[in-house]
Structure 1
Amino acid sequence: MVQPTDREGSDPGSLAVSVVVCVRNGAATLASQLEALAGQVDAPGFEVVLVDNGSTDGTVAVFEQWAAAGMGVVADARVVDASEQVGLCFARNRGAAAARAPVLAYCDADDVVGSTWVAAVHAASISGALAVGGRVLVLDAARRPTSQVLLDSLDSLGPDDGAERVFPYFWGCNFAMSAATLAAVGGFDEGLPPYGCDDVEIGIRLAVAGVTLAYEPRMEVFYDPPRGLRRRLTRTYRAGIAEACLWARHPGLYRQRPTAVALLLALPSTPIRAALGSRGGARRRVLAAAEATARDLGLVRGLRRWVAGGRLRPFHGSTVLLPRQGP
């Protein structure tokens, strides 16, 4: 269901970019992202599509309050209901299906885009980029932008990750692609677990389809890293589950992946190896040991419950995203 909050008389043909923000229970952080979008500089006509993936904390009310206050330079803003299936991939596809511009730009509800982010997306698009990732910096604990850089290029999947060849990919908090390109590769994989590896997985399919991923450093996003040990380990564990599903999705790429039994047998030594391989003081070594253990436990759960247990559903293209014409 689409709930329009757009301005009277808006013309879809004047929209160059659709900004898609997927969220589940993001009321505490959403306002700062929306304000950053409202204050974009030198941006073409763009809309904001908030995809609500089953929030229960007043997220939609935050969005509606922002929209009622004027939305700044944003031409249109809408809420799309995606509560019927919890998961980032489904939400991304639902947002793409509801978007009206030829270019889709994705950012997260707990981050903050740079002041020329939409303009940079548009510049990359008109230069011919079909898919593009950007620069990722860090928000501090008070959610203020810093100069600390997390990513200053495309990321890549390669032999160190167990892959047979190198695949570049963008981070899911900061990327854009033409709507036609996303539809042509089938959209995001809705069969994956709710969190993790969606950006890597679609990066693989884009590369297989012959799409060159571009990098635009002016596409800056300030990322809010997980704070607190519990939150950090939870994310790592969930990413491990998704990584196991990625192995199963692309077995030709991951030919020498470990089994669940092998991971369990190696588990007692996992934190020791991680700590010894970590640089820094005792605190950093303890964190490395904990994260390595969380990842391997996630891999075991993914291999057993999702892959062997049948929870990883076959994926033959999005259930909600229809093909678009054009480049």
Structure 2
Amino acid sequence: MIVPVRNAARTLGLQLEALLTQEDAPRYEVVVVDNASSDGTVDIVKAYSTRYRHDRMAELRLISAPARRSASYARNVGARFSRAGKLLFCDGDDCVSAQWIRQGAELLEQCDVYSGSAIPLGDEIFPNEVCRVREWLGDDSAIQSLDDFQRDAPFPVLMGGNFGIRKSRMLELGGFDHSMGSAGEDNELALRIRSSGQSVLTTGGAKLAYRIRTDPRSIFAAARRGGKAHALNAHRYGLWRRSEVVGDGRWLSGAVRALASAGKMAVVPASRDIRGLSGRLGTAFGAFEGAILYRVLRRSGRPELRVGFSGDSEWPIDLP
């Protein structure tokens, strides 16, 4: 289990508790990769180390990875230091179901990589107790089937905060592409997996609850990063014309429509949907920015694979 974190002191304890209280799981390790946190994230991990040490099925490890700041880099570092042949990924601000590890391990007996399922919860209502999250999730012990419904999708989706992959396959692929920045790295990996001739399989099982930001500013920022990353993926993989975000001039018309919606909401208060508008504006602006950078100015750069797979900039931290 690989958990990349940076400044996650407020939420990490819930995830570590969820990973410790798994049901029917094989023996497993939880590798927390600290990506240059400046809060009490490391202290939270150390506080849980004793409880993990007394659990005969689980082991907690902490890796320091301060050299580059991105989830891609931290996940690659986690894959490098993991001693397991099966890698399961989750984030430090979410909460996995009780059967998450068992189901993930069983799914990786059927395939090399899968994408799990996740249910969003607003940060302001996210429960602070694992049992309450699991009541809401409605844990199901039955293993869910794997589906290939993304076979014909131009942009397959891989949930970076909830997926599993065999370590050998992760190393073969080169891990996450650090050049993607803070968005789109998981879907880029999905595109690379498909380009290698393998399907991106999904399951309704291996569930977790993931935390979403609901304030307009955070929604806009996340959508903008996503729109820009989508443009980069579309450009690099020759999918520009098939994109519903940037293809056929949508990178320009989308920005115009989003601005028109903003104008309408300013004039007609009854039509206001600030959160929805924030997402549309963010995606449109990000796509526009990406189109100018990558399509017009040709500044798409080169992929940066295997970042974090070697070197001496990462090291394990002894836990008490």
User: Shorter chain as normaliser: what TM range?
Assistant: 0.7 to 0.9
Secondary structure of the corresponding residue to residue 224 of structure 1 = strand
Shift of 1:148: 9.1
What is the aligned counterpart of 2:229 among 234, 242, 252?
242
Could you tell me which residue of structure 2 aligns to residue 223 of structure 1?
210
Could you tell me which residue of structure 1 aligns to residue 179 of structure 2?
191
| Matched length | 290
Shift of 1:297: 1.5
Report the TM-score when normalising by structure 1: 0.77
Does residue 291 of the first structure (1) align with residue 291 of the second (2)?
no
Q: 2:160, 2:47 → 1: CA distance?
A: 26
The one-letter amino acid of 2:62's match is: V
Q: 1:248, 1:272 → 2: CA distance?
A: 27
Secondary structure of the corresponding residue to residue 293 of structure 1 = helix
What is the aligned counterpart of 2:169 among 169, 181, 189?
181
Q: Is the contact between residue 38 and residue 73 of structure 1 (CA under 8 Å) also seen in structure 2?
A: no
What is the aligned counterpart of 1:270 among 255, 258, 267?
258
Shift of 1:225: 1.5
The one-letter amino acid of 1:88's match is: A
Query: Can you list the C-alpha shifts for 1:115-146, whole angstroms capped at 9, x where unaligned?
Result: 010000111122x2111122212346142422
What is the aligned counterpart of 2:196 among 209, 219, 228?
209
Q: 2:89, 2:254 → 1: CA distance?
A: 38
The one-letter amino acid of 1:44's match is: P
Q: 2:296, 2:232 → 1: CA distance?
A: 10
Secondary structure of the corresponding residue to residue 25 of structure 1 = coil
Higher share in helix: 2
The one-letter amino acid of 1:97's match is: R
Shift of 1:166: 3.3
Query: Can you list the C-alpha shifts for 1:69-112, whole angstroms capped at 9, x where unaligned?
Result: 33546532211122111111111111111111001100010000
Could you tell me which residue of structure 2 aligns to residue 113 of structure 1?
96
Could you tell me which residue of structure 2 aligns to residue 29 of structure 1?
11
Q: 2:294, 2:43 → 1: CA distance?
A: 35
RCO comparison, higher one (Cα < 8 Å, 6+): 2
Secondary structure of the corresponding residue to residue 210 of structure 1 = coil
Could you tell me which residue of structure 2 aligns to residue 54 of structure 1?
36
Could you tell me which residue of structure 1 aligns to residue 64 of structure 2?
81
Q: 2:192, 2:212 → 1: CA distance?
A: 27
- Residue 42 to residue 133, structure 1, CA distance change in 2 (3 Å): same
Secondary structure of the corresponding residue to residue 62 of structure 2 = strand
Shift of 1:170: 2.6
What is the aligned counterpart of 1:90 among 73, 80, 93?
73
The one-letter amino acid of 2:218's match is: R
- Percent sequence identity is 27
Shift of 1:57: 1.0
Shift of 1:155: 9.8
Could you tell me which residue of structure 1 aligns to residue 84 of structure 2?
101
Does residue 320 of the first structure (1) align with residue 308 of the second (2)?
yes
The one-letter amino acid of 2:191's match is: I
Shift of 1:286: 3.9
Q: 1:282, 1:223 → 2: CA distance?
A: 31
Q: 2:223, 2:148 → 1: CA distance?
A: 18
- Residue 284 to residue 79, structure 1, CA distance change in 2 (3 Å): farther
The one-letter amino acid of 1:172's match is: G
Q: Is the contact between residue 137 and residue 148 of structure 1 (CA under 8 Å) also seen in structure 2?
A: no
Query: Can you list the C-alpha shifts for 1:36-94, whole angstroms capped at 9, x where unaligned?
Result: 00000111111011111111111111111111333546532211122111111111111
Shift of 1:30: 0.2
- Residue 298 to residue 47, structure 1, CA distance change in 2 (3 Å): same
Q: 2:270, 2:77 → 1: CA distance?
A: 45
The one-letter amino acid of 2:240's match is: Y
Q: 2:173, 2:185 → 1: CA distance?
A: 13
Q: 1:179, 1:215 → 2: CA distance?
A: 18
Q: Is the contact between residue 146 and residue 201 of structure 2 (CA under 8 Å) also seen in structure 1?
A: no
Does residue 67 of the first structure (1) align with residue 43 of the second (2)?
no
Unaligned regions of 5+ residues in structure 1, if any? Answer: 1-18, 159-163, 323-327
Shift of 1:271: 4.2
Q: 2:48, 2:272 → 1: CA distance?
A: 40
The one-letter amino acid of 1:227's match is: T
Could you tell me which residue of structure 1 aligns to residue 318 of structure 2?
none
